[in-house]
Amino acid sequence: MRTLYTLLLHAALPWILVRLWWRGRREPGYRAHIAERFGHSALAPREKLFWVHAVSVGEARASAPLVHALQREYPDHDVLVTCLTAAGRDTAKQVFGESVLLAWLPYDTPAALRRFLEHFRPRLGIMMETEIWPNLLQACRAYGVPVLLANARMSQRSARAYRRLPGLSRPAFAALAAACAQGPADARRLRLLGAREVSVAGSLKFDIEPDPGKAEEGRAFKASLGDRKVLLLASTRDGEEEALLAQCAGLGEDTLIVLVPRHQRRFDAVAAIAARMGFGAARRSLGEAPHAGGRLYLGDTMGEMAFYYALADVVVIGGSFAPLGGQNLIEGCAAGVPVVTGPHMYNFADVTRLAVRAQAAVQAEDAAAALSVARALLADPARRARMGEAGRRLCARHRGATARHLEVCQRLLTAAAPG
């Protein structure tokens, strides 16, 4: 089965490269360092190195507590962070600066992976959340590189997809040295898929510390708005902006809508959507401030969620009004902002249940219901305060995933040590 997968991947590579070049029109990062995608690196080899793969923005941010813990515990080791998306690589650069090495993850072909592993020879590989690449995991096993699936989540939908190809997926999951699941349901599904050493470690996202400078900037921005309330539409996806903005039409000028699309490549398109719907938007990327009577502020920047959450009175989480799995709601809870989600939060099911049970979040059935809840919250400062405090308490109770992950890393390193 893996042989057929490899042949199909080789056949698809020309089309993959064309798509990569096409995406580079709007995100030039995709056209940089292309040789790395085939295992050719200009980075010098390091004597002692940990490798962390964070596919995109969310995974790069989630990896930060564990990467920092490894750097503190093993100061003589370098850390290589690989990504697949340009936004993920930019985020890793913002989060880690020059303290890590950055590269693209090679395509999942035997030759590219052989070059990658022989060049870097990592002592430990860490794949964030749901990254399962059959050839990569088998190559790591052959080269004696233990791989941890960290902050692992496995929705019912993803598990069903993997079960359709057991000849490909089961050996891949079995090749993992260990998996640290976010919750018991994730752990159970991982075991059923073939993962062997699975523990429940919680979510690393509870341990993320927001950028204090961005948070302070957000509070100052909020103060400049006077008595205006702020409704944050966070991490919205294609098709959601129209539905959510249509429900915002009845909001008065005393409420500023802050709209932050999930993907950088859609910023201009979302600005056009807002203009077409009668929402003249000030854009953060241009340094514009909401003008008097302006109803919409477009958060068209990356790496600034701490800023946006610090100025919000209520947040509606995007990615959850179509079957896309939702987005991380922990940042909102940690910032003490009442959270409203749509019905499709299956990628964050355990955390959503915890937040709803703690009365830090409300899960609505559609965009209309979500904005109805949001409007009620904007009019009820006492309820907002209770929900915000509940969110902070929830996050405080569930911190500690980093230490549990670090223990597993240390065990894998000890087991892999010569002699």
For residue 52, the model assigns a pLDDT of 98
Average pLDDT over residues 301-311: 94
Q: Are residues 169 and 71 in the same domain?
A: yes
pLDDT at 419: 56
Same structural domain for residues 232 and 371? yes
What is the pLDDT, as a whole number, of residue 250? 83
Residues 12 and 142 in one domain: yes
Q: Which two tokens stand for residue 309?
A: 């959450």
Contacts of 95 (CB under 8 A, 6+ apart): 60, 61, 64, 303
221 part of a folded domain: yes
Burial class (CB in 10 A: 0-12, 13-18, 19+), 174: middle
Same domain, 170 and 315: no
From the number of C-beta atoms within 10 Å of its C-beta (0-12, 13-18, 19+), residue 151 rates as: buried
* Burial zone of 4 (CB within 10 Å; 0-12 exposed, 13-18 middle, 19+ buried): exposed
Q: Is the pLDDT of residue 293 over 80?
A: no
The CATH number of the domain holding residue 220 is: 3.40.50.2000
What is the C-alpha separation between 381 and 386, in angstroms, rounded? 9
Helix or strand run (H / E) with residue 4: helix 2-23
Q: Over range 106-125, report the average pLDDT.
A: 97
pLDDT reported for residue 292: 66
Q: Please say if 59 is a catalytic residue.
A: yes
The distance from CA 208 to its chain's CA centroid, rounded to whole angstroms, is: 12
Which tokens in the block code for residue 367? 């965009």
Q: Across all residues in the chain, what is the average pLDDT?
A: 95
Residue 210: predicted pLDDT: 87
Residues 320 and 240 placed together within one structural domain of the fold: yes
Same domain, 49 and 81: yes
Coil, strand or helix at 63 = helix
Q: Compute the average pLDDT of residues 355-361.
A: 98
Instruction: Using the structure block, give the residue that is written with the tokens 């997809």.
Output: 161
DSSP string computed for 130-155: T---HHHHHHHHHTT--EEEEEE---
Asked if 346 and 326 touch (Cβ cutoff 8 Å), the reply is: yes
pLDDT surpasses 70 at 336:
yes
Mean pLDDT is lowest, of 108-112, 123-127, 207-211, 332-336, for 207-211
Mean local confidence (pLDDT), 189-209: 96
What is the arithmetic mean of pLDDT over 310-338? Answer: 96
Distance CA 215, CA 193 (A): 41
pLDDT of residue 7: 94
374 pLDDT more than 60: yes
Q: Return the number of other C-beta atoms located less than 10 Å from residue 352's C-beta.
A: 20
The H or E element spanning position 170 is helix 166-174
Asked if 177 and 226 sit in the same domain, the reply is no
> 3-class DSSP state for residue 269?
helix
Residue 80 maps to which CATH number?
3.40.50.11720
Same domain, 244 and 157: no
Mean predicted confidence (pLDDT) in 275-293: 87
The mean per-residue pLDDT over the stretch 73-89 comes to 96
Average pLDDT over residues 171-176: 97
Question: Shortest CA distance to 29 belongs to which of 265, 292, 237?
Answer: 265
Q: Residues 369, 220: one domain?
A: yes
Question: Is 90 exceeded by the pLDDT of residue 416?
Answer: no
Lowest mean pLDDT: which of 58-72, 95-109, 274-288, 390-404?
A: 274-288
Q: Are residues 50 and 99 in the same domain?
A: yes
Mean pLDDT of 120-128: 98
pLDDT in tens, 7-49: 999 999 999 999 999 999 888 999 999 999 999 999 999 999 9
pLDDT computed for residue 388 by the predictor: 98
- Asked if pLDDT for residue 249 goes beyond 90, the answer is no
- Is residue 413 classed exposed, middle or buried when 0-12, 13-18 and 19+ CB atoms within 10 A define those classes? middle
Alpha helices in 252-380 (DSSP H): 267-276, 305-311, 330-334, 349-357, 367-378
pTM of the predicted model as reported, rounded to 2 decimal places: 0.88
Evaluate whether residue 274 is within a structural domain: yes
Rounded to whole angstroms, what are the CA distances from 340 to 46, 344, 363, 386? 46, 12, 6, 14
What percent of the chain is modeled with pLDDT above 90?
A: 90
Let me know if residue 207 belongs to a domain.
no
Domain count, the chain: 2
16 within a domain of the structure (yes/no): yes
Q: Which of 36, 47, 59, 288 is catalytic?
A: 59
Asked if the structure places residue 83 within a domain, the reply is yes
C-alpha neighbours within 13 Å on the C-beta side of residue 352: 20
Distance CA 366, CA 243 (A): 9
Q: Are 345 and 196 contained in the same domain?
A: no
Q: What is the distance of C-alpha 289 from the center of its chain?
A: 28
User: Considering only 55-64, 123-132, 292-301, 372-381, which range has the smallest mean pLDDT?
Assistant: 292-301
CA distance linking residue 386 with residue 121, whole number of Å = 50
* Tokens of residue 88, six digits: 């993920």
d(CA 116, CA 125): 12
Bridge-based pairing of strands 296-298 and 229-236 is: unpaired
Q: Are residues 313 and 385 in the same domain?
A: yes
pLDDT at 97: 93
Mean pLDDT confidence for 269-276: 94
64 pLDDT more than 60: yes
Q: Is the pLDDT of residue 397 over 90?
A: yes
Q: 183 lies in which domain range?
A: 2-202+400-416
Those residues whose C-beta lies under 8 Å from the C-beta of residue 305, and which sit 6 or more positions away, are 210, 234, 260, 331
Contact 369, 348 (CB under 8 A): no
- Token representation of residue 255: 């409420």
